[in-house]
Amino acid sequence: MMTGAEYIESLRRLKTEVYFMGQRVESVVDHPAIRPHVNTAAVTYDLAHDPEYADLASAVSHLTGRRINRWTHIPQNQEDLVKKVKMLRVAGQITGTCFQRCVGMDALITLYSVTHDVDKKYGTDYHERFKRFLIETQDRDLMSGGAMTDPKGDRSKRPHEQHDPDLFVRVVERRSDGIVVRGAKMHQTGAVNSHQFIVLPGQSLGPEDKDYAVAFAVPADAPGVIQVFGRQVNDSRKWEGKIDQGNPTYGVVGGEALVIFDDVFVPYERVFLLGEWEFASTIVERFTAYHRQNYGGCKSGNLDVLIGATLALAEMQGTAKASHVRDKLAEMAHMVETMYGGALACSYECTKLACGTAFVNPLLANTAKLNTARYYPEVTRLAQDIAGGFVATMPSERELDNPRVGQFIRKYYQTRADVPAEDRIRLGRLVENMTGATPIIECMHGAGSPQAQKVVVQRLFDWVKRRRLAERIAGVGTEEGR
Ligand SMILES: Cc1cc2nc3c(=O)[nH]c(=O)nc-3n(C[C@H](O)[C@H](O)[C@H](O)COP(=O)(O)OP(=O)(O)OC[C@H]3O[C@@H](n4cnc5c(N)ncnc54)[C@H](O)[C@@H]3O)c2cc1C
């Protein structure tokens, strides 16, 4: 298993093609806009070596018996799924933001079981190929970007109906030794600091969409893989100073990129689905269940930090004992524990897939994510309420050193005599960082928009059973009832 420092050094050896603000990025590790995201992903490596958390953040590979980082592990039982959630909460608490490595983890978990099922139906050898890839990923402790979301063009049309056939990733050539793929994946978390991408179809497909039914893995620096790093709210603060960033070490959300596959060659050894279109929906259902499980873990960890910042500000500002503030803090805690409870519940209620992998309860996993999409913004609203308006109006950190106004900033931003104004400003900036647009949009759309979860809830909830329960108690349809 790599340490965080070794992971960071390993990124220097990649020859990725990354663009940001109109320019090619020479080193993702040293770029101020990207470095915080690198630091955050590095936490997933360090945790596996930390005596306090190694039991959560590492596991024993069921394939090799060797100790591996849990972010590359295939859950074998209930305990593995529960540890996954607990590990995510801890990492969320340490970083206060998205640590990026779960999309790739869930892509690994999903393909492990789906390749098994495809082989069973078609006699293909995807599963053995995938196992070899998995062992390499585990032994080299690679970070994988999980690439599922296509640009999708006109949402009312299927892939083959789009005006541009490249709006979904597709196979454009089949050669004797591999395939050539074209298209793009959007919003790719941690992409620029991943070693490789695992590409999956992002929606169910029909027979006309056969060329879009493709799953594969490529190194992040394979020829033709081009990445464009996205902008975030207030990102220029990353090269202006430390305090105004709010979370200068770890940044905001995952650092997403548009990943373009400009006719990329993929050898068959790394192809895990090719034309079996009916398995696209299985991939999406399994991946989203595992990924939605996560949101109740990582986001509750992030919100633990936000609750802490809010409490600290209330204490500094003399409002912590007010009953309405205590009530709001309790409400925040209740929502966070509800999110976490859902993630744990879907793990405890797991079943086994045909290949032996433990599978979360999808109804509860989708409920956990839907709660996160609802509760994260609600918790941020309460944090902003308690923190006060200064979060939106503070001057720049540079004013603290301004010979003319610095003394006034320290004087007028001070609340209690024993608390320096700078401490309040730092916490205010952290609240601003965590309650701004990007993290809220991530909780909304990351792992799928809320409607996608509702569709699963509608489908899996046993409506007839509920109606019968009520009818029996009310005596509807019985002799007595009539
Ligand atoms: C911060 C962040 C990180 C992310 N990280 C990753 C990642 O690492 N890997 C990855 O693969 N993806 C990632 N995603 C993508 C995420 O899964 C998508 O944003 C999500 O699935 C929604 O897709 P979309 O953004 O294209 O929005 P859309 O699909 O356009 O949805 C917008 C709205 O339109 C509705 N809608 C969509 N289609 C239809 C339709 N046919 N009919 C009616 N209504 C419709 C939706 O319900 C929603 O309300 C990330 C997203 C964010 C915001």
Residues 104 and 145 in one domain: yes
Catalytic, 443? Answer no
The strand pair at 17-20 and 225-229 is best described as parallel
Q: Is residue 470 domain-resident? A: no
479 has a pLDDT exceeding 80: no
Residues 228 and 366 in one domain: no
Residues 46 and 131 in one domain: yes
Distance in angstroms (rounded) separating the CA atoms of residues 321 and 319 = 6
Residue 237's pLDDT is what? 96
In 3D space, the residue among 79, 355, 363, 115 whose CA is nearest the CA of residue 216 turns out to be 115
- Domain of 71, CATH number, reads 2.40.110.10
Residue 409's pLDDT is what? 98
For residue 97, how many C-alpha atoms fall within 13 Å in the half-sphere facing its CB?
A: 31
The two structure tokens encoding residue 61: 């590979």
What is the value of pTM for the model shown? 0.97
Residues 307 and 270 in one domain: no
For residue 102, how many C-alpha atoms fall within 13 Å in the half-sphere facing its CB?
A: 30
Residues 110 and 135 in one domain: yes
CA of 445 to the centre of ligand 1 (A): 5
Is ligand 1 within 6 A of the CB of residue 105?
no
Output the average pLDDT for the chain. 97
Which percentage of the chain shows pLDDT scores above 70?
A: 99
Express each pLDDT in 209-264 by its tens digit: 999 999 999 999 999 999 999 999 999 999 999 999 999 999 998 899 999 999 99
Catalytic, 256? Answer yes
C-alpha R_g of the chain = 24
Residue with tokens 């965590």: 434
Q: Is residue 476 domain-resident? A: no
State whether the Cα torsion 300-303-307-312 is positive or negative: positive
Is ligand 1 within 6 A of the CB of residue 152?
yes
196 beta partners? 144, 219
Given the CA of residue 451, which atom of ligand 1 is nearest to it? 47
286 to each of 197, 248, 281, 327, how far by Cα in Å? 18, 35, 9, 38
In 3D space, the residue among 379, 393, 385, 391 whose CA is nearest the CA of residue 424 turns out to be 391
Distance in angstroms (rounded) separating the CA atoms of residues 26 and 432 = 30
Q: How many helices (H) and strands (E) does the chain have?
A: 15, 14
Residue 217 DSSP SS3: strand
346 has a pLDDT exceeding 90: yes
CA of 155 to the centre of ligand 1 (A): 10
Residues 29 and 122 in one domain: yes
429 to each of 171, 226, 237, 306, how far by Cα in Å? 46, 34, 11, 11
Residue 97's pLDDT is what? 97
Query: Are the CB atoms for 444 and 371 separated by under 8 Å?
Result: no
Residues 186 and 165 in one domain: yes
Is ligand 1 within 6 A of the CB of residue 189?
yes
Residues 23 and 101 in one domain: yes
Mean pLDDT of 174-195: 98
Which of 97, 189, 310, 438 is the catalytic position?
189
Residue 90's pLDDT is what? 98
Express each pLDDT in 267-296 by its tens digit: 999 999 999 999 999 999 999 999 999 999
Residue 379's pLDDT is what? 98
171 has a pLDDT exceeding 70: yes
481: confidence class by pLDDT, cuts 50, 70, 90:
low
In 3D space, the residue among 391, 350, 343, 387 whose CA is nearest the CA of residue 367 turns out to be 343
- The residue out of 241, 257, 277 marking a domain boundary is 277
- Residues spanned by the domain of 143: 4-277
Instruction: Name the amino acid, one letter, at 238.
Output: K
Distance in angstroms (rounded) separating the CA atoms of residues 199 and 287 = 12
Residues 67 and 25 in one domain: yes
Catalytic, 285? Answer no
Residues 81 and 223 in one domain: yes
Domain count for the chain, please give it: 2
User: For residue 20, what is the enclosing H or E element?
Assistant: strand 17-20
Query: Are the CB atoms for 338 and 371 separated by under 8 Å?
Result: yes
344 has a pLDDT exceeding 90: yes
Catalytic, 291? Answer yes
Catalytic, 290? Answer no
Q: Is residue 371 domain-resident? A: yes
Q: Is residue 468 domain-resident? A: no
Residue 254's pLDDT is what? 86
Residue 477's pLDDT is what? 81
Residue with tokens 């799928």: 448
Query: Are the CB atoms for 359 and 351 separated by under 8 Å?
Result: yes
Residue 482's pLDDT is what? 56
- For residue 18, give every residue at least 6 positions away whose Cβ sits within 8 Å of its Cβ, in sequence order, or none: 24, 25, 28, 192, 227, 228, 229, 257
Q: Which of 445, 453, 458 to mutate to test the pocket of ligand 1 (most atoms within 8 A of CB)?
A: 445
378 has a pLDDT exceeding 60: yes
Express each pLDDT in 113-135 by its tens digit: 999 999 999 999 999 999 999 99
Distance in angstroms (rounded) separating the CA atoms of residues 438 and 47 = 26
- Domain of 417, CATH number, reads 1.20.140.10
Query: Are the CB atoms for 110 and 286 separated by under 8 Å?
Result: yes
Q: Is residue 481 domain-resident? A: no
Distance in angstroms (rounded) separating the CA atoms of residues 243 and 146 = 32
Burial of 368 (0-12, 13-18, 19+ CB in 10 A): buried
Residue with tokens 């490249």: 166
Express each pLDDT in 436-459 by its tens digit: 999 999 999 999 999 999 999 999
Residues 213 and 324 in one domain: no
Which of 31, 116, 127, 291 is the catalytic position?
291
In 3D space, the residue among 44, 47, 12, 1 whose CA is nearest the CA of residue 220 turns out to be 12
Residue 358 DSSP SS3: strand
Express each pLDDT in 67-105 by its tens digit: 999 999 999 999 999 999 999 999 999 999 999 999 999
- For residue 157, give every residue at least 6 positions away whose Cβ sits within 8 Å of its Cβ, in sequence order, or none: none
- The residue out of 244, 277, 310 marking a domain boundary is 277
Is ligand 1 within 6 A of the CB of residue 448?
yes
Question: Helices in 192-322 by DSSP H: which ranges?
Answer: 280-317
Burial of 10 (0-12, 13-18, 19+ CB in 10 A): middle
Q: Is residue 474 domain-resident? A: no
Express each pLDDT in 153-170 by its tens digit: 999 999 999 999 999 999
Query: Are the CB atoms for 244 and 429 separated by under 8 Å?
Result: yes
Residues 336 and 197 in one domain: no
